[in-house]
Structures are given as structure tokens and as C-alpha cells.
Structure 1
């Protein structure tokens, strides 16, 4: 066996290692890829038929007072005069080629319009995630370290109440306080570099209570583990216990929630974007639904589904790297 290992060519060893890595990636990504394809097909099909039940896009394009002849011309121009099944078959065929058609409002390719509005949404989600972490993780660690004291019980109660407040309520309160009463922060985009503060605070305030509770529960559980007792017996102080021993383990589970919250902001921040006129995908989706711009709505939904899939794959990869137990389990 030793002689055979010594005589194995390096190229064969490298090829075998690459094949093993490729198999692991395929086992991780393959099932999720099948799921996202099925999800996009189901969502796109439901969206295709439901959108066409909401109204006649030709009437919006031509105007409410347009003559029947004008409406027929518009329907023929955009293919809306064909049977619905034929429109659906054409839509699926084009979608497989990443062609969602042109926007009914601007005439621009729908996918190009969506991809142009995507970076502001990613920027807002990243900023809100950072603010969320800066708020929630210190408070959650403080709560979990000694959960039975009076101030911590009060904070737990406030966190439970805050978890039930919708994001748009938080946004309206922030606008009223900082934009209307104090006049120190802009409430819409284009406010001289400070326009990100209120929308990111709105999202963070909505997501932080859940992250605080999860962080506190993880820290509290970790504080009762054997390795913490051992470290405490060797003379480690409270700060050393929390920072060096408890947090690295407690934050592994917290990272899962952060990934889920980031994926939520890809699809659930449209009200916040609309409230603050943030030029992202959420605002585009709201305006497209209002104007029955079917191609843009369908392209937006598919892009959001792919983004959520990508975030989940990245989070799985992070867990594989950060948690040795998962690596041993896969092996």
C-alpha cells in the first residue's frame, strides 16, 4: 500500500482531489439548484396568470379613454391579443433564455431594468445587516450572560414588544422624529450621503429583536457548557469567558439567522424602499405592480428567488468552514 501511494503520479492525486471537491459541491448545491428551478417555475406560472387577472395592461398603456381600435393595436403590438396559453408558452420559452421581454412602461428590456436596480437593494441590505449586528449582538450577549437580573428582564420585555411592531411603523416614526421634527436626516434618497441612515435603521429595528432573542438564548446555553466551567475554574474572568469562549460558539447559530434575515431583505424590504423612495428593486417592484408591468414583475421575482438561493448556498459554505462538526459529519 505504501509503495502504491508513493508511485501515484501527482497529477492523478490532484485530479482525484478535484473530483472529490466537485462531488461535495454537487451534493451541496445540486438539491438546492433543483429546488430553486422548481420554485421559479411554480412562482412564475402562478404570477403569470394572477397578474393577468388584475387588469388589462393594454388599457394602462393606451390610456383609460382610448378607443377600442387603439386598444386592439396595443394588444397586437405587445402580443396581448394571443390566447393566454400561447402567451404562457412563449413566456416560459423566453424565460429559459433569460428573456423576460420589454417593460410595458419604458420599453427597456425587463431584466436589464431589474439588474440596474439591484445594487441599491444589495447596498441597503448590507448596511441594515451591519447595523443589525452592531445593535443586536452586544445586547443579546449582555442578556444571555446573566439573564435573571432585573434590567435584563426589562430588556427582554421590551424586545418582545418591539418584535411585534411592523417595519413601516418604525419607518414612519423615524421620519417624523429625525426628518420632520429635528430636520437632521433626509427621508428620501438624494439627501447628500445620509439617505441610507433612516432606511437601514428601519430594517435593523425591525430585525434586531429576533436576533437579540436568538443571540441571548445561544449565549445563555453556551454559558452552561462544560468548556465554560473549565475555563472559569482555571481563573478566566467574565469578559474573557464571554469573548474568547462563549461568543465564538454562540455566534455560529446566530449566523444562520443573519443569513435568513439578509435573504428576507432581498424580497421583503419593498415597503421600506417605497417609504423612503430608495431606488432599489423593491421600489421598482411596487411601481411595476401598480402599472401592471408584467415583464418587470416576473423578472424581479425570478431575480429575487435566485438571490435567496445564492445567499443560502453561501451560508451553507460558511457553516462548513466555521464549524468543524459539520465537516466531520459530511466526511
Structure 2
């Protein structure tokens, strides 16, 4: 009779148990993360100013301002407002927008698809440009063209994204007039903001791919493949590039998560109707409910992307499951 307690588990069972444990830990982590971020944001927003004054206008009477505070629940103490906020947050109810009167979470979810579309477009450009360029830079021998390209990549990495965005607007929208400078609903309106976001991501990915490929090209199995008659391109695409994909995939996942939260300036620059533009406008208007809902959704999306990437790595690499 086999003792179940001491019998070895199959790899499938080990994988399922590992993923279940990670899922439970991740759920606890996301709950703590969202609570901490929402709490910090709640008090910071209320220390930044009184939205009742902004809504009422400069010539409003004290009675009118107080009426607005009562209407939107801003007349209580910080603790009273926080207690009401926590209760609403548990059911994903962040209240009505102070600017439009619409449900804050509804506004945020309406602006989410354009942000996701822009992030996917930027990542696609990033992959198409960085993978072949990084693979080429990682091979030997090193030529003058490769050294010049490496220097150019390093320079571009140090340039702020909004500067590149302004340069792209000047070239393609003002000088050549072939692309719109702001969102106009056409198919070409996504190109400039996507290129702006990708320009900040491409140099990092190029350097990681080049480093991984260069390291792989020094391995014994590559020398064996070359000795057996394989061409340099066959060695690059069959051996070096696949081994570089794990580190590359990790960086791409991190970059996608960053794009969900770090495209505020680009969306504002190109008037892209996404979460970034909504968040910037809501901050300037002291629209607390919309800001809180937007930050909540962004933090949740970033956490989900990172969690999915971790789970994919555990499936692909058994060493991570054992760890």
C-alpha cells in the first residue's frame, strides 16, 4: 500500500499547487497594494485643495460652497470621508465625477480601451524594431556601423519621451503634413503617440537583446553549430535569439505595465482620449472620484500584467517553480 503522504507528486500536481499558492499570495498582495495606494491618494488629494471652491467659482458665496460640500460628501472630517470612501471602494463605487456628474468608474472604463490600444501599438513597434536590431548588434564581428548604432541607441535612451514627441510633431505634422499632431479619429492618429512611447522603450530592449545574444554566441553549443556548417544567420535565429527570449519577454512585460501607467504626458501631448488624459484633466480640476478610480484601475492593471508574466515564467522555467 502506497503512503500518499510520502509518495512523490507528479509534475502536473506540483505545477498546480505552486500556481495555487502563488495565486493566494497574489490576491493578498493586490488587496494590500490597492488599499495602501488608495489610502495615500485619498489623503494627498484632500490636502491639495478644496474642490468645492473650484466647482463654485471665484465669486461664490460661503453658503453655495457649503451646499456643494454637503452635496458631494465633502463636509465631514477626513476620517468620516475616509470611512465612507473605504465602504464605497469595497464595492468599486468611487462616486460621481465632480466635473460631469457621471459615475467615476464608468468614465474610467470608457477611457481604458484607447490606453490599452496605444500601449499595444507601442509594444508592437518596440518588438518589431528592437528584436532584429538587438540581434544584429549582439553578433560578431563588431563593425563601425554597429558602434555608431550602439552610440545612437544610448543617446536616444537618454532623451525624454515628450521631447521626441515634439520632434515627431514638428517633422511629420508641421513640416511634412502627413500625420495629424493630435487625435483626429483617423488610422494615422495613433502613429505619432505610439512612436513617441516606443522611442523610450526601444533602446532598453535593444540593449538587453544585444547583451543576451552576445552572451549566447560565446557558448559551446554555438561554436559546435558553426563547426558543423551552420551559417551565422541560422545560429542567430535558431540558437542565440531563442535563449534571449526569456529575459526579453520579462522586459517586454515590464514595459507594457509601465505604458499603462506612464503614458500620461504622451496622451496629454497628443490629446489621446485615454486614461492618461483623463487623469491629468481630473487632477487639474480636483475631481477626486475620477482620480481615485483611475489610479485604482491603473494599479490593478499593472499588478495583473506582472502577475501574468510571473505565472508564464513559472510554466516556462521549472527552476522558478522549485524556487
Is the TM-score greater than 0.5?
Answer: yes
Which residue of the partner structure matches residue 232 of structure 1? 226
The structure 1 residue matched to 2:91, chosen from 79, 97, 101, is 97
CA distance in 1, matches of 2:182, 2:208: 32
What's the offset of the Cα at 1:317? 2.6
Q: CA deviation at 1:229?
A: 1.7
Partner of 1:45: 39
User: Any conservation in 2 of the 1:147–1:153 contact (CA below 8 Å)?
Assistant: no
- Aligned residues of 1:141 and 1:219 also touching (Cα < 8 A): yes
Between the aligned partners of 1:277 and 1:147, the Cα distance in structure 2 is 45
Q: What's 1:173 paired with?
A: 167
TM norm structure 2:
0.93
Match of 1:63 in 2: 57
Aligned pairs for 1:199-238 within 5 A = 199-238=193-232
CA–CA distance in structure 2, aligned partners of residues 18 and 137 of structure 1 = 33
Supply the distance in 2 between the matched residues of 1:151 and 1:69 (Cα, whole angstroms): 71
> Which residue of 2 is the match for residue 32 of structure 1?
26
Match of 2:154 among 136, 153, 160: 160
**Once the 2 structures are TM-superposed, how far is the Cα of residue 246 of structure 1 from its aligned partner?**
0.8
Change in Cα spacing, 1:45 to 1:262, as seen in structure 2 (3 Å) is: same
Shift of the 22–108 alpha-carbon distance from structure 1 to 2, 3 Å rule, reads: farther
Query: What is the TM-score with the length of structure 1 in the denominator?
Result: 0.91
Distance 1:18 1:257, change over 3 A: closer
**1:124 aligned residue (118, 122, 125):** 118
CA distance in 1, matches of 2:152, 2:310: 32
The one of 100, 105, 115 aligned to 1:111: 105
Give CA-to-partner distance per residue, 1:123-161, whole Å, 9 cap, x none: 000000000111111111000012632221111111111
Q: Could you tell me how far apart the structure 2 residues matched to 1:170 and 1:70 are?
A: 46
Q: Deviations over 1:230-256 (max 9, x none)?
A: 211211110100011111111111110
Question: Is residue 309 of structure 1 aligned with residue 287 of structure 2?
Answer: no
Aligned alpha-carbon RMSD (Å):
2.0
Count residues in correspondence.
318
Q: Distance in 2 between the 1:129 and 1:101 partners?
A: 34
Match of 2:7 in 1: none
Per the alignment, in what secondary structure is the counterpart of residue 286 of structure 2? coil
The equivalent of 1:252 in structure 2 is: 246
Which secondary structure does the structure 1 equivalent of 2:184 belong to?
coil
Shift of 1:42: 1.4
Inter-partner Cα distance in structure 1 for 2:195 and 2:155: 17
Distance 1:147 1:100, change over 3 A: farther
Question: Which of 188, 192, 198 is the equivalent residue of 1:194?
Answer: 188
Q: Residues 124 and 182 of structure 1: is their aligned pair in 2 closer, same or farther, counting only changes over 3 Å?
A: same
Q: Indicate if the aligned counterparts of 2:19 and 2:311 stay in contact, CA closer than 8 A.
A: no
Pair 212,142 (structure 1): closer, same or farther in 2 beyond 3 Å? same
